[in-house]
């Protein structure tokens, strides 16, 4: 199945301005249409490579109010409208009780574009502020609390998967954080079964570049809600990884895609993990 050719044909046969109501005011420029095609193609490629649609009928889409989750929802709705995503979608925002969070923005926006949604309030902000020492980073605990609530909501809504808006850079940054600070080779998987074994976690934007998602969000004029918790802290390890990757990409264009491909081509016998490869079974079978 040639995903690239199929999605290109699909978009060529329909006017780029026609689609889900979300795209009613989308730009009609050639550059935007190319961007939209590229992102749709990459999402469909992730669907195929990781068999994301297998046994899937209902998805909970995590919506934070950031550019990536808005973009994820838009691309999924685009594919659904074109008959290329036979899955029911429910958008969900977890209001974590952060100060000055504009509670009206997401429900008004999701209602306007006709998307079924659920807004859940859980004051995890107070828990994070209480548990994390002054000066330490909030992201790890904050994300764990958020993820646990989203798992619960997905099960309550009868969903087969929780779908998140992590993109190429998120995956690479996680890999290098684990590499430099965790002493292990691990990244964000595009498809993951939760510990209970009753819910998939999917990341359809795994092949999508953050810069493309930013351009897409700007063109679509999504009502972005900034994070006032982790976004206000300096010196995060992830920011250091982001800066490092950006510097590498500036000096050697295309390296991010190369690194992402490397994560999909693992040679266990050329690493140092005896649990992953049975080095003890190696034996000389011929003598000179």
Judged on CB neighbours under 10 Å (0-12, 13-18, 19+), 258 is exposed
Residues 120-142 as b/e (b if ≥16 CB within 10 A, e otherwise) read: eebebbeebeeebeeeebbbebb
**Which ranges of 17-92 would DSSP assign to H, the alpha helix?**
30-49, 67-81
Calpha distance 56→90 (Å, rounded): 13
Predicted local confidence at residue 73, as pLDDT: 97
Each domain of the chain, given as residue ranges in start order, spans: 3-230
Calpha distance 129→136 (Å, rounded): 10
Contacts of the segment 121-126: beta carbons below 8 A, 24+ positions apart: 121/95, 121/97, 122/94, 122/95, 122/96, 122/97, 122/149, 123/96, 123/97, 124/94, 124/96, 124/97, 124/149, 125/96, 125/97, 125/98, 125/99, 125/229, 126/97
pLDDT in tens, the chain (288 residues): 455 455 555 555 444 446 788 898 899 999 999 999 999 999 999 999 999 999 999 999 999 899 999 999 999 999 999 999 999 999 999 887 677 788 889 999 999 999 999 998 877 666 666 666 666 565 666 677 778 789 999 999 999 999 999 999 999 999 999 999 899 999 999 999 998 889 999 999 999 999 999 999 999 999 998 765 554 444 478 889 999 999 999 999 999 999 999 999 999 999 999 999 999 999 988 776
Class of domain 3-230: alpha beta
Predicted local confidence at residue 228, as pLDDT: 59
Predicted local confidence at residue 133, as pLDDT: 62
Predicted local confidence at residue 140, as pLDDT: 64
Predicted local confidence at residue 232, as pLDDT: 44
Predicted local confidence at residue 13, as pLDDT: 46
Alpha-carbon dihedral sign for residues 16, 22, 26, 32: negative
Predicted local confidence at residue 146, as pLDDT: 76
Calpha distance 265→132 (Å, rounded): 38
Task: Give every CB contact of residue 120 below 8 A, 6+ residues apart in sequence.
Answer: 92, 93, 94, 95, 149, 153
């Amino acid at each position: 199945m040639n995903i690239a050719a199929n999605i290109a044909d699909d978009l060529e046969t329909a006017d780029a301005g026609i689609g889900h109501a979300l795209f009613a005011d989308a730009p009609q420029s050639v550059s935007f249409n190319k961007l939209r095609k590229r992102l749709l193609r990459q999402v469909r490629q992730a669907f195929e490579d990781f068999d994301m649609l297998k046994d899937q009928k209902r998805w909970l889409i995590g919506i934070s109010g950031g550019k990536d989750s808005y973009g994820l929802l838009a691309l999924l709705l685009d594919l659904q409208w074109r008959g290329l995503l036979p899955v029911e979608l429910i958008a969900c925002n977890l209001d974590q009780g952060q100060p000055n969070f504009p509670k009206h923005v997401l429900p008004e926006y999701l209602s306007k574009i006709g998307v079924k949604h659920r807004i859940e309030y859980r004051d995890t902000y107070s828990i994070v502020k209480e548990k994390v020492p002054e000066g330490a980073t909030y992201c790890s605990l904050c994300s764990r609390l958020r993820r646990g609530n989203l798992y619960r909501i997905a099960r309550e809504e009868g969903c087969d998967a929780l779908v998140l808006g992590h993109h190429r850079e998120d995956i690479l940054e996680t890999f290098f954080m684990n590499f430099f600070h965790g002493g292990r080779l691990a990244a964000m998987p595009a498809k993951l079964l939760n510990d209970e074994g009753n819910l998939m976690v999917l990341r359809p934007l795994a092949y999508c570049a953050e810069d493309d998602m930013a351009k897409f969000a700007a063109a679509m004029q999504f009502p972005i809600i900034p994070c006032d918790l982790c976004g206000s802290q300096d010196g995060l390890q992830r920011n250091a990884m982001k800066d490092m990757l950006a510097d590498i990409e500036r000096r050697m264009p295309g390296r991010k895609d190369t690194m992402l491909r490397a994560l999909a081509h693992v040679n266990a016998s050329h690493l140092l993990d005896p649990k992953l490869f049975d080095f003890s079974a190696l034996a000389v079978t011929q003598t000179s």
